[in-house]
Chain A
């Protein structure tokens, strides 16, 4: 039973990182292409574009933290 439990934790950790990664990617895809579009019009928008593009990355960081907590704390 112990082994199955460990396996479940590993699986859950993988899902936590994987699904949040997909979510970040989907969000960044749209923002990133819009940001590049805006930057071709006006290069000074780089800063704002970069900030908006990387905002959804927080989702995957949360996923990662949850995964690491699962592996090391549970």
Chain B
């Protein structure tokens, strides 16, 4: 369960004419991770795409253009009733794509023309509108030999500025800014100068004849018809979209698969008459895979098992560069699978090492729960996480949802059995620990709501995050030691598997001993320093054994690490102390929640501030706890993750694997129906 799936390499050799069949069979197998052909051996080169590929890519291009034009989001299209791929195939071969393309783009063209026409009309109308206020028809604005017309808008009133011009005809609109000025050709420059002083900008005189007002009227009528036309076209497009969305989606899928298949030969070695394919197949499925391929290809190609790769690093080094790294296929249970993405954020596990996903699926939610430790917040996390796991699609949000759900479960467990806390307040309280909050009232649900909380007595430890800090700090340290111990044990297992026992003892087991020794020595030192424990008897024995373990550990590590065997010891202390963040974050959450509870309870129950106080109390209560809840997600999640990535995984995890990507057709809208074999 903890190691990635074991992989075997198969070699498929056959006549070139059989390559298409072989690719088809591999796609149907859905288990073969094809190894790209990259070397250049004598007589071999990469293959050419299958002949049907270019037609398919051309059609795929058309379909994707339709997706774009109709703005269909593929992720939203319902995939409830997949159709047999043979049906889709038949439609495509019958020219369905071309037909729809023609039909659709005819309407789209018409729509675009209508939009253009509307924009043109609106432009002309807005140009004409000011002219309609002048008593001139359009033909009067042009066609003069000795006159120069100026038509446009002046920022200030032009009447005074133009008074120096003797020979002129000025028409001014009612708004005092739009004007038409006619001067003699000789005065053109003079007029231009005068007009520029009043901030004049000339406008284009539209084509046409007759009164601008009449033209506007007829154009507005035309605009109306065009707009109606556009509306009908849009409706028609919507109808087309509704009618063909599924066809487009399923065709896109089918064609994308066809193109991928057609391009597969580019990854395969071919000679003039033959082809050679190398692929990794999970060893567990090897017999079945070879059997299925042989049956599908009926002995027309040869299928050989070249090797089953072990976990030794030496095997990897011996291999041909192309076959060095087998792909990593996680072999996790349902729970572990949900955390594979979080591991891959760091790096894909190598083929020869423990996949941390399962360990992470245990520890990450547990740490989240310890830091959260509150039934109220936990229930909310569980609910949102459950919803997210059901409905959210992207890898990132699904990872967050799983963390919320499982973290929420642990949060509720710790919240009940360890802290006994609901929304920042204890359910019941030990009067010796909990000082009265206000007016002799203790801040716990039992007293506030008048509940009988006697049943909690034996069940919950009632640890207070604010008062039992030393206990929580110690707990954090102990968890840290256990967690690092597990990490180093897996490190030892990994190195033993990769390089053998000697290397495992030197590299990792030495650190297991050092960790144990260091723990004992540190415990002894703190006892002596803080509690003045006399060094004698059993205590002395433990201390001595610990010191020996520490020294033996460092000694074993010395041959390969040198001085680092000594220098890295404080690093382990740092790693352990880093787990005190479990207590620190639990405490900070509780501190904030306490502050909000104190404020709102003073207003709500004690009745400070009257009606306003009650409203304020509710407001503070809701906003405050929402804030704590969001911060809890961020800090508990990130710090929990950090403890996994930095402290835990660095003890056994290297990463840098090649993710397993078998040849397969991912179908949502279509379903493959097995052809008779």
Contact = CB atoms under 8 A, between A and B. Distances in A.
A35 B581 CA distance: 23
B469 interface: yes
B578 A72 contact: no
Given A68-B473, A73-B530, A47 B578 contact: no
Given A50-B642, A51-B646, A65 B577 contact: yes
B345 A46 contact: yes
A35 B470 CA distance: 35
B347 interface: yes
Given A47-B645, A54-B642, A65 B345 contact: no
A50 B584 contact: no
Contact of A72 (B346, B347, B470, B646): B470
B574 interface: yes
B655 interface: yes
A51 B645 contact: yes
Interface string B640-675: 011001100010000100000000000000000000
Contacts of A33: none
Contacts of A65: 473, 577, 580
Interface string B580-598: 1100100000000000000
A64 B580 contact: yes
B581 A61 contact: yes
A72 B473 CA distance: 11
Contact of B646 (A44, A55, A68): A55
Nearest to A62: B577
Contacts of A64: 580, 584
Secondary structure call for the A interface: helix
A58 interface: yes
Contacts of A72: 469-470
Contact of A58 (B345, B347, B574, B584): B574
Interface string B425-441: 00000000000000000
Interface string B334-374: 00000000000111000000000000000000000000000
Contacts of B574: 58, 62
B530 A58 contact: no
A16 B555 CA distance: 36
A61 B584 contact: yes
A66 to B, nearest CB: 10
B345 A47 contact: yes
A73 B530 CA distance: 8
A61 B646 contact: no
Interface string A48-61: 10110011011001
B346 A58 contact: no
Contacts of B577: 58, 61-62, 65
A55 B650 CA distance: 12
A65 B522 CA distance: 15
A41 to B, nearest CB: 16
Contacts of B584: 61, 64
Interface in B606-664: 641-642, 645-646, 650, 655
B346 A61 contact: no
A47 B649 CA distance: 11
Contacts of B347: 44, 47
A67 to B, nearest CB: 10
A47 B645 CA distance: 8
Contacts of A48: 346
Given A58-B578, A61-B580, A73-B530, A47 B655 contact: yes
A67 B547 CA distance: 28
A50 B646 CA distance: 9
Contacts of A68: 469-470, 473
Interface of B: 345-347, 469-470, 473, 530, 574, 577-578, 580-581, 584, 641-642, 645-646, 650, 655
Give the 8 A-B CB pairs with smallest separation, nearest first: A47-B346, A54-B642, A72-B470, A51-B646, A46-B345, A58-B574, A64-B584, A47-B345
Interface of A: 44, 46-48, 50-51, 54-55, 57-58, 61-62, 64-65, 68, 72-73
